[in-house]
Amino acid sequence: MYFFGLDIGSTTSKCAILGEDGTRLVATSLVTAGIGTAGAEQAVAEALAAAGLTPEEVSASAVTGYGRHSWKKADYEASELTCHALGARLVFPDVRSIIDIGGQDAKVISLDAAGRMNGFLMNDKCAAGTGRFLDVMAAILQLPVSALGDEAAKSEKPAAISSTCTVFAESEVISQLSSGAKREDVIAGICRSVAVRTAGLAKRQVLNAPLCMSGGVAANAAVRQALSEELGMEILYSEQAQLFGAIGAARLAWQKHRK
């Protein structure tokens, strides 16, 4: 028996397959094409192939993510909040707070000791403080977004990025680079800026430890470190953070099927 979760995001489609016990991760896939593309279909095909399964061998499936309404083939559908919480708790069983930074929004999710959601906050109005901000800056710097964290780590004096709007920050970054600022300092400033924005959102809610990150931006160690400093809290990190929504969806399919 296998349980399948699909997370159709704004930039990336993710899949996870869990085994019969609802905890063993059998296979995952990640395709950098999200809503409105063939990314979801490809992610499903890749995860099934990685697990050596046919679609008929999947007992139940669930879909989540911003693009979930466009996918009609799943047995269940659930919000990103629910699925990120379920996925995070599977990897970090005691986690009480989750900061999810994806391609177009950021969310802060609070859980009680039993894992039930008891609060959330979201920024989906402004690209600053989301992966979109980092994608725009990486394009200016002609770097893959995955390289920003390592570049930032070389900085000894992060540049101050004062603009709170992505469009103005873009001009500010170009102007700093053209006035001779070190690339690594500008990149560290960019990462810190995302962390400061997210911390501003997170501080509006009581954050209980343990705290973890989910979403694609969690892979950026400079953002994680700056966010941890801003909040004065340790941040748990798993390399599967970007897959937490998909893992949570698979877990939900398992729970529903069991009932």
Q: What is the DSSP letter of 211?
A: E
Smallest separation (angstroms) from ligand ADP to the CB of 38: 15
DSSP state of 106: E
Q: Which of 178, 164, 167, 107 is nearest to 136 (CA)?
A: 167
- Alpha-carbon span 181 to 72, nearest angstrom: 50
**Which of 34, 248 has the CB closer to ligand ADP?**
34
8 Å CB contact between 117 and 110: yes
Judged by beta carbon, residue 102 or residue 158, the one nearer ligand ADP is: 102
Task: For helices 166-178 and 131-141, give the axis angle rounded to 10 degrees.
Answer: 30
Nearer to ligand ADP, 37 or 59 (CB): 37
Nearer to ligand ADP, 40 or 253 (CB): 40
CB of 28 to ligand ADP, least distance (A): 13
Buried b / exposed e along 65-84 (16+ C-beta atoms within 10 A): bbbbeebeebbbbbebbbbb
Nearest residue (CB) to ligand ADP, 74 versus 134: 134
Describe the crossing of helices 183-202 and 131-141 by its angle, rounded to 10 degrees: 170
**CB of residue 177 vs ligand ADP: minimum separation in angstroms?**
20
Report residue 90: phi and psi, to 5°: -70, -40
Chain residues that interact with ligand ADP, rule: CB under 6 A: 9-12, 34, 65, 102-104, 131-132, 134-135, 145-146, 215-217, 219-220, 242
Summary count for the chain: helices (H), strands (E): 8, 10
- Given the complex with ligand ADP, which of 24 and 69 has the nearer CB atom? 69
Shortest separation between residue 212's beta carbon and ligand ADP, angstroms: 14
